[in-house]
Amino acid sequence: MSTRPLVIGLTGSIGMGKSTTAAMFQAMGVPVWDADAAVHRLYQKGGAAVQPLGDLRPEAIKDGAISREALKVWIAADPSALPRIEAAVHPLVANDRQDFLNQTKAPIVLVDIPLLFETGGTGYVDVIVVVTAPEQTQRARVLARPGMTLAEFDAIVKKQTPDAEKRARADYVIQTTSLDEAETQVARVLDDIKRKHQDA
């Protein structure tokens, strides 16, 4: 019996209902590591990303924390900014994830990673679950977010692996059009994973 937990990788394009689905897995007893929350921890005062990003861009530090707004302005103005930010932050995120895996006693855990395919993260997960919804549902959800514009939405979608490709590469696909239906699918997926991997 391996001491390493079975790792479910949850991903999906913006507005597909990933956070809600992750919360459903968590409610069913699966510990969740959230990549966005990890970045938030790294950026806050005392976080591990403050010094390296501050060295790259002193203007990005506000009150001892990293300002996402300042990073956004820098990325818009300088094409070399994003790769440099990612080079500094990705190893710290990987360390945070590894700490989570090392500390958990659970047999199954979930890592919630928006850019699982885009960052080559499929190598350290055992099962891939993709959340999806019709394009018009996705668009309506994202445009309902405060300050989101159609141009910004289109720019984000262009950077992400297409939904159809994600679904094709998934072990399981969860439709999030209805909460009740999504919850039923999460329970079914979890049962199936437990059944298939109980001897793992």
For the segment 66-101, what is each residue's pLDDT rounded down to a tens digit? 999 999 999 989 989 999 999 999 999 999 999 999
| Residue with token string 């976080």 | 47
Looking at residue 188, its pLDDT comes to 97
Q: CA-CA distances (angstroms) from residue 111 to 8, 14, 97?
A: 6, 16, 8
1 pLDDT band (50/70/90 cuts)? very low
Rounded to two decimals, the pTM is 0.88
- Do 187 and 147 share a structural domain? yes
- Do 119 and 27 share a structural domain? yes
- Is 57's pLDDT higher than 60? yes
Domain that holds residue 85: 43-103
- Do 80 and 120 share a structural domain? no
**Rounded distance between C-alpha atoms, residue 89 and residue 92, angstroms:** 5
- Do 49 and 10 share a structural domain? no
Domain boundary among 82, 103, 124: 103
Tokens of 173: 């696909």
| Residue with token string 């994830």 | 97
- Tell me if residue 91 falls in helix, strand or coil: helix
Domain count, the chain: 2
Q: What is the DSSP letter of 4?
A: S
The side-by-side arrangement of strands in the sheet containing 172-175 is: 32-34, 108-112, 6-11, 127-132, 172-175
Q: CA-CA distances (angstroms) from residue 162 to 67, 130, 185?
A: 29, 12, 22
- Do 113 and 92 share a structural domain? no
- Do 117 and 27 share a structural domain? yes
- Do 125 and 182 share a structural domain? yes
Give 32's strand partners: 110
Q: Is residue 163 part of a domain?
A: yes
